[in-house]
Structure 1
């Protein structure tokens, strides 16, 4: 970069110095044709020859032009960097893209124009993809009844498998322990550890059952707003489990497909917390900032190590896939024995 600036400065200086010298010589030739070059050396101002003034003036102008070039380049790079960050955050409607268009028309050089045009093309493609994936209310309402029935059937089969693989086995293990205790009740005194084991198994089964019941709820909002659906779910949950649940839900008006997918994601995340987190406090925030929908769920549970495959990984993978289909992002931060926070960002296309 420094070498490039030095070369540019040298080119500016040579061009300006040559132009100024030529101008002085032309004027001198018009006044004194025989010795037109002598004024450069013989004419003095404050004991300084004219040639030195020409040299200093050329240096000054070159420095000024280079400084303006540096300022313009930094501004262009800053705009391009802000545009990249806006794309990363899903802010496709940001005013920074209008500034890039103005820069292309006015102040950017050829290299910066190519970078800015590539960025704008990428933004347009991302808008198209996000628009196609999100759809709108009309598209959502046109979902065929046969497709709905197939979705419901697959969901029921999945829940049946999970009930068989998890709750049924846990309850069977508890029953086997109770049967063994009953057969030997006259001979032995029940150890405390065995009681604690039975209690733990039954508690796990209850948590699993509550989580699976979330999946049996309607996967669509069925005419309700996302605020109504989420708050109803949280109120029901609050009355059934021993945990402090706090929430701050804004009244959002979203495309139907986005509402339904977001509601399904919320069910999945809440189900994971009930199954695995062992949390005593749960905090939920849902709001819209400019053209971004933000969902944040925090719990104080056991957390997990992200370098290892966590419990509920299948559910988290479902969440990532659903949010990715809307053009959004999922950020998960978890600390073992301290809790987990999940931040979801979904861009909205006007």
Structure 2
């Protein structure tokens, strides 16, 4: 028994050493396989693509605000509702605005009647000028005849003097009437009734009253999804107060935050392949780099870092890169702002030559034609 025990112990030690060597070889093989896989990934993908997990869906968010003060009469809309541009979202009580509109209409009508009356007065004044001019011509002939007769002794000097005074009186009346005609013409304006200053002022006041009245009905500025409802019926609102937000699902892009160590090879126009966590890898989006941010995210943070302080630690910064998406992919699989994405940016490949989407450069849109007709006059 004593002879067998050392042999058994030696065999156990040999088996244990063999298992250790085997485990070490397995571990070494796994490390080699990992390194080989990493090398293959770098050769096939890594050096041709920049893979970014820190990417999020972004989009334009249009605020819907009140432009006039008033009480909310009705809200024919709600959060998550799909709306089209021009659709009614909120209506305000407009009794006061309607009365102001009626008053402006009455003032405009009175101004037009006054302008028409001025036109008739001008016509009458000019007709009177013509009559006075005819009388003056006749008086001149009579005065000339009487003065000639007085010089020849055929008439009295008094009649000649009276005739001359009549000529002077008619000249004064004609000059006064001409001045009156010019005064009326100046009040009317050089371009007729439709361009009379008083009438134009009244019409502008009417247009402002109508604009103020029409703003009591609030329309959707764009087509999209409603969000962030902040009012209820019966609530008093002031100009500029937020009512809704609208997210147009066609105006979507992706912001990929790329490390500064991988940014050097990224160029505008580079092709991008993306996957959304909402759909998984079964749905692929295609796009291109529309632009690279003007600074790192830390620079534009609410509290930017103080690198001049004594306690300094270097962190790798990230720069936002805007990626435009293919509209066809967005129509098939809509995205919402805030969703997470994974992006692969081609660093050595063809460049996208087309322009950025038109809505990237946002301009003031044409005003929406009011859906409410002008109220009929009573």
TM-score (norm 2): 0.26
RCO greater where, 1 or 2, for CA within 8 Å and sep 6 or more? Answer: 2
The structure richer in strand per residue is 2
Q: As a proportion of its length, which structure holds more helix?
A: 1
